[in-house]
């Protein structure tokens, strides 16, 4: 059974739901950990009013009994507290809402799914598009990612992230180590390892939000520690795990570029300054690398070093400073719609990035080590680890 998931739910609808398939039986599910991951996604300086309404908590509907997975599909739900303010607008049944309360959206926002979605699905109230296009959906990615993280922890694989750039401001040391990144795991501001740069970023967010009515993008980095060599494969394009990671991270709202390791700067350096030289540890009897510019990935496979993936976000498309648009009913030029917005969501995107990386790695682990129960999976894992030692 392949590890996979589906989400459903609109931003202001009753609830967000997900189903997860392919978890082994016997995995201990710590709901406190899952809720803590959801809490982490809701933090970050620069979020808007919505996060004051929601306090995301998971309800497990199936697939878990007495704290352990059964091997059957897991169904989960997070209620939208804001739904109470949208009962008429988001009702599943037909409700004749007067125009002053129907919250119809007819002035598409540049950079959002509004216009293209409306054209493609032939919807003339763009709310039908934006409700699903909203990054609210990422709540469920983080919930599913928390299940993936719980599985990976059984194999000593840990995942964290940090913010390396916001707007035009970058942290000084771009190669923060695992200890530094883990230390900011529960930070509520920007999850930067460089507090001096973080203070400047906070001031920049204040300026953008309060003075300029604008929004800001940035870059986060996800680091996965403890991956054995050999997840993914060189044998075909779909099996290459760097490609899978790129797709998974690119699918996060507003992410417009993905970098593996130091992929961007590597492109302008000679090979001798890029490729990570190989060493051998006689004590652990494992191969290693003298550097990790490849971000732990070679030939579409993990190579045993830390996996490092960066996501680059464009600024959020809902901004107070209105951009030029067109009224889809009259076709007249008009400014785009604005209700409320975050100034930036880069720290939240980092948490979502962790979830997507966890999901890809969990899927690769399930594919390689199989097993219907966690015990069977662990035995298969142990036998492969022995193979690496005896190589
Ligand atoms: C979002 C718009 C805002 C964000 C939302 C994503 O929501 P609202 O329209 O209700 O003010 O707060 O993010 C979340 C709700 C969340 O949970 O992250 C958008 O248009 O993408």
Atom number of ligand 1 nearest to Cα 56? 17
Beta carbons within 10 angstroms of residue 350's beta carbon: 30
Q: Give the whole-angstrom CA distance, residue 119 versus residue 338.
A: 20
Torsion, Cα 353 358 359 364, to 10 degrees, reads 130
Q: Which domains does the chain have, with CATH numbers?
A: 4-390 (3.60.150.10)
The H or E element that residue 183 is part of is helix 178-183
pLDDT of residue 158: 98
The residue nearest atom 20 of ligand 1, judged by CA position, is 134
Q: Is the CB of 215 under 6 A from ligand 1?
A: no
Q: How far is the CA of 349 from the centre of ligand 1 (A)?
A: 12
The H or E element that residue 360 is part of is helix 346-369
The residue nearest atom 15 of ligand 1, judged by CA position, is 136
pLDDT of residue 175: 87
Q: Label residue 213 exposed, middle or buried (CB < 10 Å: 0-12, 13-18, 19+).
A: middle
Atom number of ligand 1 nearest to Cα 138? 18
Atom number of ligand 1 nearest to Cα 49? 11
Name the residue with tokens 């091997």: 71
Q: Is the CB of 139 under 6 A from ligand 1?
A: yes
CA pseudo-torsion sign 211, 215, 217, 222:
positive
Atom number of ligand 1 nearest to Cα 345? 18
Neighbouring-strand partners of residue 307: 224
> Mean pLDDT for each consecutive 10-residue tract of the chain (391 residues)?
95 98 98 98 94 95 98 98 96 93 94 97 98 97 98 98 98 94 98 98 96 96 98 98 98 98 98 98 96 98 98 94 95 88 96 99 98 98 97 96
Q: How far is the CA of 183 from the centre of ligand 1 (A)?
A: 28
pLDDT of residue 2: 92
Q: How far is the CA of 383 from the centre of ligand 1 (A)?
A: 46
Q: Is the CB of 50 under 6 A from ligand 1?
A: yes
pLDDT of residue 341: 86
Q: Is the CB of 107 under 6 A from ligand 1?
A: no
Main-chain phi, psi angles of 330, to 5 degrees? -95, -15
Q: How far is the CA of 103 from the centre of ligand 1 (A)?
A: 15
pTM recorded for the entire structure: 0.97
Q: Is the CB of 318 under 6 A from ligand 1?
A: yes
Instruction: Report residue 123 CA to chain centroid gap.
Output: 28
């Amino acid at each position: 059974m392949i590890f996979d998931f589906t989400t459903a739910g609109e931003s202001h609808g009753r609830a967000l739901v997900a189903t997860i398939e392919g978890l082994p039986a016997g995995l201990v599910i710590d709901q406190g950990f899952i809720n803590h991951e959801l809490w982490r996604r809701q933090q970050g300086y620069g979020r808007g009013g919505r996060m004051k309404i929601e306090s995301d908590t998971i309800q497990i509907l199936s697939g878990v009994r007495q704290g352990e997975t059964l091997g059957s599909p897991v169904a989960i739900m997070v209620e939208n507290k804001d739904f109470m303010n949208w009962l008429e607008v988001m009702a599943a049944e037909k409700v004749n809402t007067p125009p002053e309360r129907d919250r119809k959206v007819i002035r598409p926002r540049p950079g959002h799914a509004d216009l293209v979605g409306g054209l493609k699905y032939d919807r003339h109230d763009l709310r039908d598009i934006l409700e699903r296009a909203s990054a609210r959906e990422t709540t469920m990615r983080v919930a599913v990612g928390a299940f993936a993280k719980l599985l990976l922890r059984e194999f000593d694989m840990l995942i964290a992230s940090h913010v390396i750039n916001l707007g035009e401001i970058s942290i000084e040391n771009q190669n923060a180590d695992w200890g530094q990144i883990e230390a900011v795991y529960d930070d509520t501001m920007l999850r930067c390892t460089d507090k001096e740069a973080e203070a400047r970023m906070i001031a920049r967010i204040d300026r953008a939000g309060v003075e300029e009515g604008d929004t800001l993008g940035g870059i986060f980095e996800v680091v996965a520690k403890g991956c054995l060599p050999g997840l993914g494969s060189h044998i075909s394009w779909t099996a290459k795990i760097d490609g899978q990671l790129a797709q998974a991270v690119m699918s996060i709202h507003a992410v417009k570029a993905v970098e593996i390791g130091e992929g961007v700067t590597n492109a302008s350096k000679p090979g001798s300054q890029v490729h990570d030289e190989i060493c051998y540890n006689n004590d652990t009897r494992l191969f290693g690398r003298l550097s990790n510019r490849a971000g732990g990935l070679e030939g579409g496979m993990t190579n045993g070093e830390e996996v490092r993936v960066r996501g680059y976000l464009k600024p959020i498309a809902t901004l107070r400073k209105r951009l030029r648009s067109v009224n889809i009913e009259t076709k007249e030029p008009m400014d785009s719609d604005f209700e409320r917005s975050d100034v930036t969501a880069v720290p939240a995107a980092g948490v979502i990035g962790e979830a997507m990386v966890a999901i890809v790695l969990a899927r690769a682990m399930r594919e390689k080590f199989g097993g219907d129960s966690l015990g069977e999976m662990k035995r298969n894992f142990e036998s492969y680890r022995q193979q690496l030692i005896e190589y």
